Amino acid sequence: AAGVIQSPRHLIKEKRETATLKCYPIPRHDTVYWYQQGPGQDPQFLISFYEKMQSDKGSIPDRFSAQQFSDYHSELNMSSLELGDSALYFCASSSQGYLNSPLHFGNGTRLTVT
Amino acid sequence: GESVGLHLPTLSVQEGDNSIINCAYSNSASDYFIWYKQESGKGPQFIIDIRSNMDKRQGQRVTVLLNKTVKHLSLQIAATQPGDSAVYFCAEQNWEYGNKLVFGAGTILRVKS
């Protein structure tokens, strides 16, 4: 079965650079979520989109932005990168918008800021 | 802030034994709960979910129990296998949180052969 696809798998950037992470949800899923996971930490919610509109916002820095496109894929744009942004970034998708349904996660992008 | 907590960071069990991973959640309004398994280098993998109108749900070798009175969730794994070694997270969802999941701190399960 098709899963959530994230690219790239690994990314190394220097401080103050920008990065773009991409997410391709499971086909027919209408909701995309972005999470950040630091070493030994639980995933922290950043932002979500339902039918291409932002549906919820968590602890996402102002330096980050995201959007969902007409084909439902999503991109997380990160600017003025800081050392503390080094983490795993996961995208998840689900169907049925606001109804209870499990989130399915991709295998993440490991971002290292040097 | 929002939290779903796990009190035991590491659980070691012998292969073939049953495992029980516990989770205390903080919001009595939460109406949907999910257990995830995360292996090294991978994203969280859905194991089993339960809605608040249920107190027990069974899957293949796994059972989730929900006690809303004390806001407690547990994951039971029968006949634990080496492939079960991973970090396990519980997560909750309710309308106050919108449609996102709030994760707990995770429990490391180590299976000894």
Tokens of B64: 């989730």
Instruction: Give residue B1's pLDDT.
Output: 37
The pLDDT > 70 percentage for chain A reads 96
> B10: which strand partners?
B108
Q: What's the per-residue H, E or C state across chain A?
A: CCCCEEECCEEEECCCCCEEEEEECCCCCCEEEEEEECCCCCCEEEEEEECCEEEEECCCCCCEEEEECCCCCEEEEECCCCHHHCEEEEEEEECCCCCCCCCEECCCEEEEEC
pLDDT tens figures, A54-73: 989 998 999 999 999 999 99
Instruction: Give residue A99's pLDDT.
Output: 64
The number of CA neighbours under 13 Å toward the Cβ of B77 is: 27
Interface check for B87 against chain A (CB to CB < 8 A): the answer is no
Residue A85, pLDDT > 50, answer yes
Instruction: Give residue B105's pLDDT.
Output: 83
A91 to A5, B26, B72: CA distances (angstroms): 8, 25, 27
The number of CA neighbours under 13 Å toward the Cβ of A94 is: 18
pLDDT tens figures, A101-112: 889 999 999 999
Backbone angles phi, psi at B76, to 5 degrees: -110, 130
Instruction: Give residue B98's pLDDT.
Output: 72
Residue A53, pLDDT > 50, answer yes
B44/A103 Cα distance (integer angstroms): 9
**Residue B26: how many CB atoms within 10 A of its CB?**
14
B20/B113 Cα distance (integer angstroms): 18
Please judge whether B45 and A105 are an interchain contact, meaning their C-beta atoms are less than 8 angstroms apart.
yes
Please judge whether A43 and B44 are an interchain contact, meaning their C-beta atoms are less than 8 angstroms apart.
yes
Q: Which residues of chain B have pLDDT under 50?
A: 1-3, 5-8
Residue A4, pLDDT > 50, answer yes
Tokens of A81: 């990168």
> B33: which strand partners?
B50, B92
Which residue shows structure tokens 């309308």? B95
**Nearest CB to B103 within list A4, A43, A102:** A43
Supply the mean pLDDT for chain A. Answer: 93
pLDDT tens figures, B67-87: 999 999 999 999 999 999 999
More confident residue, A95 or B95: A95
CA angle B14-B16-B19, nearest 5°? Answer: 70
**Smallest CA–CA separation between B60 and chain A, in Å?**
17
* Interface list for A 22-81 with B (CB within 8 A): 31, 33, 41-45, 48, 50, 55-56, 58
